[in-house]
C-alpha cells in the first residue's frame, strides 16, 4: 500500500490503540474514508474482532490500582486511575467505562471486571487506556448504547442490597445522563421529585423516564393521558401544567437548576 504520510500516521495510531494488524487497520480506515473515529466504530462493532492485550501488562496495570488489603480496585484506586487517564472522577465517561467493565457497584472494579474489560478492548498500556477512554464518549451518541448505559446506571449506582435508588443519587445520575441528551425538562423533573415525591426511585420509574423523554415532546403536545406511564410521570405532567411551566403548547424558560 502506497500511503501518504498522513495516512501512515493514522494507520500507526489505529494499530497502537486497537492492537490490530496493519491490514485490518487500513481496511477499517478506508471504509470510513480515513476518519479515525469512524474507523474505530467499524472496528469495534465487529463482534468477531478481538484486540490483543498482553496479560502481563494488564496485571501490572491492575496492581497499580488494586487496594493494598482487598483484591479489588476501590475508591482510592479509581481516583488514581482517573488521574492517570486525565479525566475528572465526576466525568460521565467513567460511567461509560464502568458499563464496559460490567461493574456491579459504583467505585469498585473487581479483578475479573478489570481484566475482562481490558482484554476485550485490547488495552494493556496506559496510553491505550487513555485513548480508548476518550473514544468511549462516542458511545453516548449511539442511541442503543446510550439506552444500555442508562439502564446499567440504575443497578450500578444503587446501594448494595437495595431495590430502589436513593433520590439524591438518582437526581445526580439524571443530571449527568440528560446533560448528554439535553432533555429540557430534567431540572423541572428534579424539582418535582424533591417537592412532591422525596422518596427512593424504583427501577420501573427509572427506565420509563427515558422512554418519556424520548417519546413525549417537551411541550407535552403529544402526551397521552391514557398512556401506560407510571403514576409518578403522570403526576409530573400535572405539576408542569399546574405551575405554568407548560402553557399553550410552549415550555416556559427560567427554570432553575436543582
How does 64-79 read in b/e, with b if 16+ C-beta sit within 10 Å? ebbeeeeebbbeebbe
Task: Tell me the C-alpha distance between 253 and 173, whole Å.
Answer: 23
Please give the share of the chain, as a percent, with pLDDT higher than 90.
59
Q: Quick check: 257 pLDDT over 50?
A: no
Same domain, 40 and 81: no
Residue 65 inside a domain? The answer is yes
- Number of domains, the chain: 3
3-state secondary structure of 151: helix
Give the residue with greater pLDDT, 235 vs 5: 235
Burial of 178: CB neighbours in 10 Å, binned 0-12, 13-18, 19+: buried
Residue 214 inside a domain? The answer is yes
Residue 63 inside a domain? The answer is yes
* Average pLDDT over every residue of 239-247: 86
Q: Quick check: 80 pLDDT over 80?
A: yes
Find the CATH number of the domain harbouring 26. 1.10.8
- Structural domain containing residue 115: 55-138
Give the residue with greater pLDDT, 113 vs 226: 113
Q: Which residues pair with 250 in a beta bridge?
A: 247
* Average pLDDT over every residue of 33-59: 78
pTM of the shown model: 0.77
Same domain, 133 and 148: no
Average pLDDT over the chain reads 88
DSSP notation for 172-225:
HHHHHHHHHHT-TTHHHHHHHIIIII-SPBPHHHHHHHHHHHHHS-TT-TT--T
Task: Tell me the C-alpha distance between 139 and 150, whole Å.
Answer: 11
Which one of 122, 138, 154 terminates a domain?
138
Amino acid at each position: 500500500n502506497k500511503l501518504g504520510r498522513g495516512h501512515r500516521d493514522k494507520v500507526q495510531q489505529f494499530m497502537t490503540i486497537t492492537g490490530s494488524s496493519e491490514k485490518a487497520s487500513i481496511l477499517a480506515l478506508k471504509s470510513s474514508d480515513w476518519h479515525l473515529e469512524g474507523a474505530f466504530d467499524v472496528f469495534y462493532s465487529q463482534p468477531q474482532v478481538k484486540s490483543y492485550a498482553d496479560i502481563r501488562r494488564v496485571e501490572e496495570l491492575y496492581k497499580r490500582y488494586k487496594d493494598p488489603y482487598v483484591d479489588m480496585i476501590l475508591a482510592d484506586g479509581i481516583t488514581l486511575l482517573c488521574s492517570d487517564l486525565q479525566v475528572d472522577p465526576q466525568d460521565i465517561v467513567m460511567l461509560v467505562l464502568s458499563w464496559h467493565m460490567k461493574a456491579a457497584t459504583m467505585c469498585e472494579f473487581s479483578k475479573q471486571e478489570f481484566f475482562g474489560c481490558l482484554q476485550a478492548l485490547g488495552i494493556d498500556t496506559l496510553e491505550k487506556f487513555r485513548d480508548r477512554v476518550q473514544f468511549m464518549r462516542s458511545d453516548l451518541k449511539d442511541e442503543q448504547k446510550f439506552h444500555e448505559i442508562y439502564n446499567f446506571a440504575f443497578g450500578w449506582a444503587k446501594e448494595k442490597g437495595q431495590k430502589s435508588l436513593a433520590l439524591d443519587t438518582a437526581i445526580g445520575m439524571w443530571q449527568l445522563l440528560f446533560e448528554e441528551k439535553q432533555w429540557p425538562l430534567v431540572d423541572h423533573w428534579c424539582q418535582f421529585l424533591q417537592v412532591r415525591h422525596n422518596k427512593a426511585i424504583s427501577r420501573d420509574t427509572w427506565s420509563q423516564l427515558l422512554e418519556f423523554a424520548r417519546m413525549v415532546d417537551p411541550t407535552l403536545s403529544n402526551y397521552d393521558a391514557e398512556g401506560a406511564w407510571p403514576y409518578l410521570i403522570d403526576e409530573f405532567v400535572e405539576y408542569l401544567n399546574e405551575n405554568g411551566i407548560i402553557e399553550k403548547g410552549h415550555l416556559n424558560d427560567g427554570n432553575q437548576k436543582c
